[in-house]
Structure 1
Amino acid sequence: MNPDIQQVIFGMNAEVLFELGNRYYNGQGVTQDYTKAVECFTEAANQGHVGAQHNLGICNQIGHGVTKNYTKAVEWFTKAATRGNANAQYSLGMCYHNVHVLANTNAAAGIFEQLAAEGHSDSQFWIGRCHYFGEGISSNESKAFKWFSQSADQDSSYAQTMVGTCYRWGYGVAVDHAKAFEWYRKSAEQNNRQGQCCLGDCYQTGRGAAADIDTAVFWYRKAAQHGYESAVANLEQLSRWL
């Protein structure tokens, strides 16, 4: 450990160490320093602070202040998760779902489903996605729509896009282009690039709203500015026609 930071944190209790680690991590009132943040989080985590354990997992997952190490990230997430920390449980689920070397979609789906039932919006989106694509759990259109809807009602722009898509294609619910348009609009207005592209498509095709190429181009450009490739392709296609 850096001897300077060691002198600062010697004898501090876990909560103070956790707060100091957050300050170093975010650069609040001090110069941002991920290494010092990790040292504070480590001391607090070793004292049993679940928030510090979760943050230490994040640092190992991203590689902030330490060499990226997914195995250690999972170890710290698991320690905090077993003590009921919802953020750690969610982070553990995301590791199992998205990190190839740790892939365990069955475990991820189980975590997301438990948290979703407790009202965790992001987990509601992800368990909906698991049902939508059959990842780690049986594909189920009705359940996918149910969970996307619950997450969307909590203002998740990603879930709002998926609710719109379910209405657009009749996935788990009857086709309703007007409702698809409204959910895409909600997502787009939250700056979600997929929602913006889908809203542009509604205006281009006249599904759920009156056809309006200028407005379609407006939303495609918004999405393209965020690097959404489908929107870029749509703009290129329209440029050949206009």
Structure 2
Amino acid sequence: MDKDWIAYSECVWQCRSNNESSHQTIGSSQAFSVNMASMNEPASTTASTTHQSQTEARTTSSMPNITQHSLDHNPDIFTIICCNDSFQIALDHSTIATLLRVCKRVRPLLSSKVPRFHSWWRNVGLWRPNGSLRFALTPSEQIALSLHCEYEGIADRSWLDNQADQGNATALFFLAWIHQIDLDSQQSVNKPKREAICQQIIFYLEKAAQADHPMAQYDLAGCYRNGLGVDQDPTKAVDMFRSLAECGIPQAQVALGGCYENGEGVDQDYDTAIEWYSKAADQGSEDGRLHIVFLRGWFSFIGHGVEQSDADAFNRWHEVSTNSTNPVLKPIATHMVGWMHYLGRGTVQDKPKGVNIIRENRSDEFPLGESESLAANWADINSDSPALRKFLGMCQFGSDHEWLCKHLVAVCLIHGFGTRQDQEKAAGIFEQLANEGHSVSQLWIGRCYSFGKGVSKNDEKAFEWWSKSANQGNSYGQWMVGCCYYSEYGVTRDHTEATEWFRKSAELGNRYGQNMLGDCYKNGCGVTKDIDTAVFWLRKAAEQGFENAIYKLRQLDQWL
């Protein structure tokens, strides 16, 4: 056994020696080629036979085949060596990644402590309800950390801190993400403490990046791109992404494509952006492929370099909305799909469906829901999220060719979404489009006049614009005309007339109109009081999530 142990150990350390020599002679870009294999490992704890055969096929002839080192005649020795604690504790991450690539038998033999590591995950709150880690670690990284995890069932990080102090790149990267998750979970943390945690995250990422951990380098580049914990430096971010992208890392190729698409740190160049997205897509990156689909959807919508086609734009945006998990692309594509249904562009018109899509798509990161977009209500927040910045940029890109793009730019300006609030500029755009006959813009300029946003307050002008919108069949314009007659706003009070406008809006499925019509029947305002009819319309609004209607139904004991 001693002879076999020596032969096997020499082989393993020769693998490590080869890797270290590569680092010294070629530099960091070659170091990435070792770590890139770990980036391409599946995030799950079981690797597919196909993936293993592909990675084995990529192994160079210079890499030793450990299965041929005096072990073929006695597989029990192989098992004994791999399960030996002293042997395991001597392995670093790059050696483990190498072993996983060259011999499929190694993984289960080195994974005995992974369940204990997973148990520790749960105790420190890193486990999602669906049983996955809150961020991805490759199988080799999980094994490498599990070999040093000494505390099963105890939320103690000292073993991880110890590994980080010894320069373990995976441990440093892991700690950076643990601190990020802690920060995200602390909603009320004060500014000095938040800044201190951010600095700690940057410290760990920088240390891991210096140790050639590619995902740490990727995340650090993202920090420079967005100014998170460091001074924003798009040029430095581009340089870092490019180094990783040229080594074939798909995530970095997508990020570099995004920099070219948005003109961040480089001159804007859509063709170069698509080139980098294509490199990622060619490696099987669905995110890279969908970035291309998303961008070409906008090209089709505004006729940029291709024939204008609503149908092609709709189909591409629908594909991204359905298949993407990207937190920036998905909500934008979904929002545009909603508009296409609402306007009947590229698909059969279905206003209720379009409204529902836009309503359900609303989130803190993309707060353009029904109220903020279609109903022309003021948002109570300003937001500069990446999704809103991207959305505004795409709308600006198309604003010279497509009225809807110009309208949505004004919506962002009036709210301060993705940009500084500029109500005067927004009102000017709304009025221009309103004069061209677009009912959604007529609704918005009416709102501007009613509240004096970007224009002088003028109730009569507000009523005039809302009437024009209502007469084109805009259900929100009809609701607002009803409100004007109901409250004597820019016109003489007339509850009967108000009820008729509310009815028109309600019959088109508008929950605002349904709520007001139900209220009229509830109170006998403009119509004969009729609780059953009131409940009917209030329930219609409540079923669309209208809180005020739910409240009224509860008053009538008609809502559980």
TM-score, normalising length from structure 2? 0.34
2:468 alignment counterpart: 150
Letter in 2 for 1:143: K
CA distance in 2, matches of 1:92, 1:165: 27
2:389 touches 2:417 (CA, 8 Å); kept in 1? no
Does structure 1 conserve the Cα–Cα contact (< 8 Å) formed by 2:412 and 2:418?
no
In 1, the alpha carbon distance for the partners of 2:470 and 2:538 equals 22
Q: Distance in 2 between matches of 1:20 and 1:200?
A: 41
2:406 pairs with 1:115: no
Paired residue total: 207
Looking at structure 2, the residues matched to 229 and 31 of structure 1 have their Cα atoms a distance apart, in angstroms, of 27
User: Aligned residue for 2:296?
Assistant: none
- Partners of 2:458 and 2:445 lie apart in 1 by 11
Matches within 5 A, 1:35-114: 68-81=386-399, 83-102=400-419, 103-114=421-432
- Does residue 15 (structure 1) correspond to residue 306 (structure 2)? The answer is yes
Q: Does the CA-based 8 Å contact 1:220-1:232 persist in structure 2?
A: yes
1:25 and 2:342 are equivalent in the alignment: no
1:190-209 correspondence to structure 2 within 5 Å: 190-209=508-527
Question: 5+ residue gaps in structure 2?
Answer: 1-276, 294-303, 330-364, 367-384
Query: Residues 24 and 32 of structure 1 are in contact (CA less than 8 Å); yes or no, is this contact kept in structure 2?
Result: no
Higher mean alpha-carbon deviation, 69-78 vs 184-193, is at: 69-78
Change (3 A) 1:16 1:173: closer
Structure having greater relative contact order (Cα 8 Å, sep ≥ 6): 1
**Which amino acid counterpart does residue 15 of structure 1 have in structure 2?**
V
Q: Which contiguous aligned blocks of 4+ residues in structure 1 show a shift greater than 6 angstroms?
A: 16-19
Q: Which moved more, 1:129-138 or 1:196-205?
A: 129-138
> In 2, distance between residues paired with 1:17 and 1:161?
34
Task: Say if 1:146 and 1:24 are closer, same or farther in 2 by CA, change over 3 A.
Answer: same
Larger radius of gyration: 2
Pair 159,20 (structure 1): closer, same or farther in 2 beyond 3 Å: closer
The RMSD of aligned alpha carbons is 3.2
AA aligned to 2:552 is N
Match of 1:132 in 2: 450
Q: Distance in 2 between matches of 1:220 and 1:20?
A: 39
C-alpha deviation, 1:78, in angstroms:
2.3
Q: CA deviation at 1:25?
A: 2.3
Contact 1:124 1:147 in 2 (8 A): yes
Deviation by residue 1:159-190 (Cα, 9 ceiling, x = unmatched): 11000000001100111111100000000001
Q: Conserved in 2, the CA contact under 8 Å of 1:24 and 1:33? A: no
What residue identity is the alignment partner of 2:317?
A: Y
CA contact (8 A) 1:202 1:209 kept: yes
For residues 23 and 147 of structure 1, what CA distance do their matches in structure 2 show? 34
* Structure (1 or 2) with the greater helix fraction: 1
Distance change >3 Å, CA 209–CA 84, structure 1 → 2: same
Tell me the SS of whatever aligns to 1:239. Answer: coil
> Following TM superposition, by how much is the alpha carbon of 1:101 offset from its aligned partner in structure 2, in angstroms?
4.9
Q: 2:491 & 2:446 partners in 1: Cα distance?
A: 14
Q: Deviations over 1:9-59 (max 9, x none)?
A: 9xxx932697656433224xx995559xx8xxxxxxxxxxxxxxxxxxxxx
Residue 100 to residue 213, structure 1, CA distance change in 2 (3 Å): same
**Aligned-pair identity (%):** 42
